[in-house]
Amino acid sequence: MTSGWCYVLVLALASTALPWTTARAQNTSELEACLLDKLRAAPGSTTVSELRQACSEDLAVAAAGAEVPASQTAPEPATAAPGAAMAESQAVVEPEPTPLEQRRSSELALRDNPFAITAHRPNYFLVGVYSSNTYPGAFQEQFNDPDIDEDHYEARFQISIKSALAEGLLGGRADLLAGYTNRSFWQLYNKDVSAPFRETNHEPEAWLSFANDWELFGWRNANNSIGIVHQSNGQGGELSRSWNRIFAKLIFERGDLAVSVKPWWRIPESDEDDGNPDITDYLGDGEIVAAWTQDRHTFSILLRNHLESGFSKGTTEISWSFPLGDYPYLKGYLQLFNGYGESLINYNRQNTSLGIGVSLNDWL
């Protein structure tokens, strides 16, 4: 008897929850489509809150119109003249939204949902990574144990999220956002030392974001921002690494290609507090990220410190995310790294690594 009632209860809950879930998904999709349309047509001075307010009003009007009784609806229009049909066939077709526009509209559609987490940088898990070099010296010195060693094979993952804190600042021209990125290096296959995390880098940041729409030589400057970021590995003693920066970021797009130019300035620290005084010699004064997407494949490249170091201490990271058949939730992910600053603990050590795994999202 009890199992029968449970069965009935499950059916009742499913019958009520499924339409609600479907309706909510449909509403989110409609909001996203509206935001995308208005985002493309709006001038650069338009704020996020203005876009969302306009879409909310449009969707409310559409919903009210859908509820009007059939007897009160307008009569069917008369058959259009041949000339009108020809004019309609010659109407201007709107171009397809760019990947950057699609991502931004998806993010705006979720801002009112307190249970939704928005991706910031790529989120991935590399189940297998091979590194050409290992540098256990800092750990051996910190723990006074010459037997500490690192495997060439390990796992890595990155978790990166962001959220809007305020909208329509500075006269309605800017939004305030905050983000956090965690990148962990896991000696998953090093059973001799209980598979430890050899390094975890924490990177909280906050920035003002300014939407833009000016174009030059076919490139559209879609967004600019300025902010502050702290990065550290949360360690002490010989293992301590940290630095603070003020940065600017300019995002340009052209079709399926997006480019981010991000210069920064390191905030000086006192000699006794600075565990890595020469970090800019290896990580440079900025980075450039380019991403291109096509048919669910995304290719990206990160460049850092090549020009500043005279091509002696530069960094290049190349990644490729690709579909796993028709599976909609994860994509395959391949990452190749060469240079300095792969982890803070070894920012001044050169390494080449190749990893494969899965990703939740990429740059686009």
Active-site residue, 230 included: yes
* 296 Rama class: left (phi>0) / alpha (psi -120 to 50) / beta: left
Looking at 106, 202, 230, 297, which residue is catalytic? 230
Give φ, ψ of 186 to 5 degrees: -115, 115
> What is the C-alpha to C-alpha distance for residues 248 and 264, in angstroms, rounded to an integer?
6
Between helix 2-41 and helix 48-66 the angle, nearest 10°, is: 120
Looking at 49, 163, 232, 309, which residue is catalytic? 232
Helices (H) and strands (E) in the chain, counts: 7, 14
How, if at all, do strands 286-294 and 174-186 pair?
unpaired
Between helix 99-110 and helix 2-41 the angle, nearest 10°, is: 130
Count Cβ atoms below 10 Å from residue 82 Cβ, excluding itself.
8
* 217 Rama class: left (phi>0) / alpha (psi -120 to 50) / beta: left
Q: What is the SS3 assignment for 20? A: helix
Count Cβ atoms below 10 Å from residue 102 Cβ, excluding itself.
16
Active-site residue, 202 included: no
* Contact in structure between 131 and 152 (CB atoms under 8 Å): yes
CA distances from 355 to 87, 182, 319 (A): 55, 17, 9
> What is the C-alpha to C-alpha distance for residues 106 and 111, in angstroms, rounded to an integer?
9
Q: Which positions are annotated as active-site residues?
A: 230, 232
